[in-house]
Chains A and B, each alone.
Chain A
């Protein structure tokens, strides 16, 4: 499998690897995928008072494309509002990393991970947020 330079770059120098302190209220965590399928992504967002994402972390069990997709979205979500973050499409991720067709599922998983992290954050803060909480996005 030939990987694009961008995939290799993210794979060799993954950005924002790690986990935030457990029990931090300003953190939303999304975990998607399954070991048996060959990829599990954990994405965490840290949300500032003004409702923008100030920081992000990831850990991924998966192929180089899965690692690169999740590393990339930790960069992309920073500075975005929650609504902007869930607007990130898998097609943008796939295009940025030049993923081949067999690896598109990695970008879908990364998109799902953002949605899951945002949903987790919103659920934690259901009472404070304006408007009705968004329905949790089922991953599947």
Chain B
């Protein structure tokens, strides 16, 4: 086993070696600018770019002409949301999203509010899912755009995008969907889903970092305003010389994902269930997010009565994400877990395990044993655990504020 064991596939994935192999010639040999129409160097790379576009479109069951290359999903979400809001602003100024979106969506919405738009941030249910009735109730006559992610990055829950699509289409509302954590993990069929704009990124599906794609529906046609102006690449939606090697990598990653998703998922789900079986065997652990409506590779668990940062420190043999941002600049507990109604303590003591196609049974078993030992050790140290064991209800304790 290679340490630390990587269980953070939702943060990013390694590039599949087959993808890397396919990329390399486009750095050294086929280096032409795909916009160069006057010679074979350009023709060669343009062909590669279009082949890749085809693979990405096929993964989404879309038309290649509906795919625009971006630098990743942060740009994709910005382009989709700002682009559509600005194009349709004469129709209305109201936007809808939910509190558990990625910052790339939330901060974009905040910026649009600054520009004069109004945004509703929907609460989610305790299982992390958006409530259809609450969504409907949030719609106003001047609502122009809704942005709801397909799969949440922290808790892996799958939102009811098909139903939201029907609702939005009937009301003439543009629906944008951040599908970063869904692509290559669940089926996305844009021929049937009534989604107008959809964002994906390569580095969450065994492709390289710094490349993504935005799907922009042609039928019925959706319009957006470009955010980056220049040479008019990508039909004016996104100027800038195409990063050929990155695009080739994303295309190959999409091709492999489409071909291998079903078999990979089966294995990954088995491993995730094994992990959960091991962890749920412990006392006072809480699963965050719905278990059924969830992608196979995600498990988000809170270990009550231990503090998150010390837990992360104790389990440095595995690479995971913590629901507590203590290790970065702020001391904020995860806003996603807070939105599920979890207490600060439970949010702080949560660990996100995300498994991927290179995860093994041995690694999962190692993680289970490690968690069992370390959580027990930290609970030995914890005055809260002692009080819990003595039958004290921690909610009735008067804590000295600090």
Contacts and interface: CB of A to CB of B under 8 A. Distances in A.
**B partners with A:** yes
Interface of A: 1, 3, 11, 14, 17, 19, 31-42, 59-64, 66-67, 105, 109, 138-140
A62 B383 CA distance: 10
Interface in B345-402: 345, 348, 380-386, 394, 399-402
Nearest to A11: B313
Contacts of B280: none
Given A11-B313, A36-B345, A38-B307, A61 B383 contact: yes
Given A35-B345, A38-B348, A64 B313 contact: yes
A31 B310 contact: no
Given A42-B383, A61-B383, A64-B310, 13 more contacts: A1-B309, A1-B327, A11-B310, A31-B383, A32-B400, A36-B343, A36-B399, A38-B324, A38-B331, A40-B384, A59-B386, A64-B313, A67-B381
Nearest to B324: A38
Contacts of B344: 35-36, 38
Name the residue in B306, B382, B394 with the highest tally of chain A Cβ atoms < 10 Å from its Cβ.
Answer: B382
Contacts of A14: 381
A63 B381 contact: no
Nearest to B330: A102
A112 B327 CA distance: 24
B378 to A, nearest CB: 8
Contacts of A42: 383, 386
A39 to B, nearest CB: 7
A120 to B, nearest CB: 13
A63 B310 contact: yes
Name the residue in A11, A36, A39 with the highest tally of chain B Cβ atoms < 10 Å from its Cβ.
Answer: A36
A47 B348 CA distance: 36
Contacts of B331: 38
A39 B307 contact: yes
* Pairs of residues from A and B, 9 with the lowest C-beta to C-beta distance, nearest first: A34-B399, A63-B309, A42-B383, A59-B383, A139-B400, A36-B344, A35-B345, A61-B382, A64-B313
A140 B402 contact: yes
Contacts of B399: 33-36, 40
A41 B307 CA distance: 12
A57 to B, nearest CB: 11
Contacts of B401: 34, 140
29 contacts: A1-B309, A1-B327, A17-B380, A17-B381, A19-B386, A31-B400, A34-B400, A35-B345, A35-B399, A36-B343, A36-B399, A37-B402, A38-B308, A38-B344, A59-B381, A59-B386, A61-B382, A61-B383, A61-B384, A61-B385, A62-B310, A63-B326, A64-B313, A66-B310, A67-B381, A105-B402, A139-B400, A140-B400, A140-B401
Interface of B: 305-310, 313, 324, 326-327, 331, 343-345, 348, 380-386, 394, 399-402
A51 to B, nearest CB: 26
Contacts of B345: 35-36
A1 B402 CA distance: 23
B393 to A, nearest CB: 12
Given A42-B383, A67-B381, A61 B402 contact: no
A31 B306 CA distance: 17
Nearest to A109: B402
Contacts of A64: 309-310, 313
Nearest to A33: B402
B402 A34 contact: yes
Contact of A35 (B310, B386, B394): B394
Contacts of A17: 380-381
Nearest to B395: A35
A32 B399 CA distance: 7
Contacts of B326: 1, 38, 63
Contacts of A138: 400
Given A61-B305, A63-B310, A32 B383 contact: no
A60 B309 contact: no
B159 to A, nearest CB: 29
A88 to B, nearest CB: 18
Contacts of A33: 399-400, 402
